[in-house]
Chains A and B, each alone.
Chain A
Amino acid sequence: MLEIKNLHANVDGREILKGLDLTLPTGEVHAIMGPNGSGKSTLAYVLAGKEDYEVTEGSITWNGKDLLDLDPSARAATGVFLAFQYPMEIPGVATMTFLRSAVNAVRKARGEDELSTPDFMRLVKEKAKGLKIDAEMLRRPLNVGFSGGEKKRNEILQMALLEPSLCVLDETDSGLDIDALRIVADGVNALRSKERSMLVITHYQRLLDYIVPDKVHVLSKGRVARSGGPELALELEKTGYAEFGGEATAA
């Protein structure tokens, strides 16, 4: 279970998260919505442990473990995974090399044996196939020259390979065409399980048609302003964020 209590966080000395509370039980999928600039990505980065995001107050625990104590790689080892809103391009790092290093680093930290090259190749091939990622893409440097949609699919591939228990998806649907959205959503749904919790940040009901959340939270000005069932997302689609101090329509 993820428990966020009274979380305050600063970026560049400016307070962005202002007393955020959120509980995500194990096995559930929660959606996070909210106007641009309300702090959704900030929350995602704080969960993953980005250095320049300074937590000034409050706590985050994952299955009773204090996440704030851990550096980003240790968080990954305990099961935290962030699918980035804007995945990084890293020239000179081959996608395959990167995937393999990541998988083995996480396995090592979890006390598992490293995968042999053939086993790893088999695993990647299988997962990539489900996401319609072709082998040619994996031979390129990490995310370099990938289209927006390819980058997002690559994020989900990493998620599938690293087998996290807490998945945070930051606008994984943005930039996807209708077919890709379906592929990605299927990929995410395939990972849904009793042991795995997910925070799905999105602006659109469209994604939530595929990935039906157990709960929806609306973030506004750095706090959870409202929580409800899946119907809350439908309501927001009609009314926009006006009542939360955002612009009149959802972004």
Chain B
Amino acid sequence: MDLSVQQFRSKAEQDYLDLYTKAEKALPGAGNPFVAALRADAIKAYGRLGLPHRRIEAWKYTDLRARIDEVHPLVTALGIPVSDEALEAALGSAIAAFPAYRIVIVEGELRVDLSDMSGLREAGVEVSSLSHLLEMPPEWLKAALGQVNPREDDAVLALNTALMTGGVALRLPEGLTLGKPIHLVHLDGTGEAASTFTRNVIAAEAGASATVLESYGSLGMTGLQRNAVTEIKIGDKAAINHIKIQREAPETIHLNVWLAALGADARYNGFQLSTGAALARNQVYVAFNGEGSSADISGACLGRDRQHCDTTLVVEHRVPACDSRELFKVVLDDEARGIFQGKVIVSPDAQKTDGKQMAQALLLSETAEFDSKPELEIFADDVVCGHGATSGQIDEDLLFYLESRGLPEPEARAMLIQAFVGEAFEVVDDEALREAFNAASAAWLGVEAG
């Protein structure tokens, strides 16, 4: 007898379906046939997939069905006041003060009063709130939304498409070089525990170049369930730095998907720093669709207590002569758990592929745990691919060397930990951002930035 696993739904699984049924008519773009069909297909796909659980290979270490007992109601945008101090507390001073075009999304709603977009439109960038555009999506958005690097098998993505309510749509016109970064700030509210589904869509046309920073922080709401997706289409010869910092409140569940696709001779630098949330699952899917492109996707995750931080990457080399690099650093204390899964797929046509991947963990306690699963699926013969993973403790000899120079033990330890993660920050081109990351990791360690 073939009893499908999906016959049984957990409470949370059903909650998501109910959330959709209840909200369907009121979701942005409900009246637009294109958007409505997109959502309907997505919720159907979710219904088929259910919440990911440990018997699904890619979710072996992060069992959402076991971790999510119930789903909180959709967040309501109340337009709460947000002071500069609150913003700084949520993001850290270095990130809050980071010089950029700033677009702030609170409770899923784009807040013009907190944003600073002056000059962005003048520079030639098309920028709008996604929920606004969904009411009558322009052609470029239709071509991008759910189309950049489609994944049929991802329930988190399906839920996002079904329920997306906020976020930003950005279009960088052909040949535009944006001198100042764009900072997309995502903050929850201060009310009852809620769930939120934000979606950013970025289309960089041929030859465009820009830096986009996404930050995720908490104004105080505990128990936020966040589902955040960014699609990013990188045209021929375009160059995009895509950076994320996540430091949400300790009870948060943070589910994140990046979908990136590169044209020919394009460049994509992705970087993620995670220090917050009870559970964070960061998925990055990158596809090479044009020859001669390169991508560097790196990051660091700092966890303590019982935090769970999962980074799962899939890089698909579909065409010849592209390079991909990944370097992930994980620091775990107490009973924290870190996961790195990296899959590199090289299609039969993708000759001259160069793909390298490295994950390194530093365990600060006996009870912390790091699992890594590198996978190479290579169907071409003329390729250079490699991966590695290491896991270790602080080197006592190095620690003694620093202490013997007068650094008290906690400071010496912090210096070594910062040195360990700092290597991953080096891929970030922007010096101010690199400094901000150093400050963020120093803050995590409870020391001043070195």
Contacts and interface: CB of A to CB of B under 8 A. Distances in A.
Contact of B450 (A71, A91, A101, A162): A101
Given A52-B396, A105-B411, A90 B401 contact: yes
Interface in A39-59: 48-52
A101 B402 CA distance: 10
Nearest to A83: B404
Contacts of A90: 398, 401-402, 416, 419
Contacts of B402: 90, 98, 102
B405 A158 contact: yes
Contact of A51 (B396, B408, B411): B396
Contact of B401 (A52, A84, A103): A84
B334 interface: no
Contacts of A102: 402, 405-407
Interface stretch (A72-80, A191-199, A241-249): A72-80
A106 B450 CA distance: 16
Contacts of A77: 406
B404 A91 contact: no
A76 B423 contact: no
Interface string B379-413: 00000000000000000111011111111110110
Contacts of A141: 419
Contacts of A121: none
B403 A71 contact: yes
Interface residues on B, range: 20 to 34
A73 B412 contact: yes
Interface residues of A, number: 31
A98 B405 CA distance: 9
A72 B398 CA distance: 13
Given A92-B422, A92-B423, A76 B403 contact: yes
Given A52-B396, A93-B415, A105-B411, A88 B401 contact: yes
B418 interface: yes
Contacts of B450: 97, 101
B402 to A, nearest CB: 8
A62 to B, nearest CB: 15
Interface string B408-450: 1101100110111011000000000000000000000000001
Given A90-B416, A91-B423, A98-B415, A162 B405 contact: yes
A82 interface: yes
Contacts of A106: 405-406
Contacts of B400: 48, 50-51, 72
Contact of A92 (B397, B408, B418): B418
A115 interface: no
B404 A72 contact: yes
A102 B408 CA distance: 9
Contacts of A73: 403-404, 406-409, 412
Interface of A: 48-52, 71-73, 75-77, 81-82, 84, 87-88, 90-93, 97-98, 101-103, 105-106, 109, 141, 158, 162
20 contacts: A48-B400, A48-B404, A50-B400, A73-B403, A73-B406, A73-B408, A73-B412, A75-B404, A76-B405, A90-B402, A90-B419, A92-B418, A93-B416, A93-B419, A98-B405, A101-B411, A102-B405, A106-B406, A141-B419, A158-B405
Interface of B: 396-398, 400-409, 411-412, 415-416, 418-420, 422-423, 450
Given A50-B400, A91-B419, A92-B420, 12 more contacts: A49-B403, A52-B396, A71-B403, A72-B400, A73-B404, A87-B401, A93-B415, A93-B416, A93-B419, A101-B411, A101-B450, A106-B406
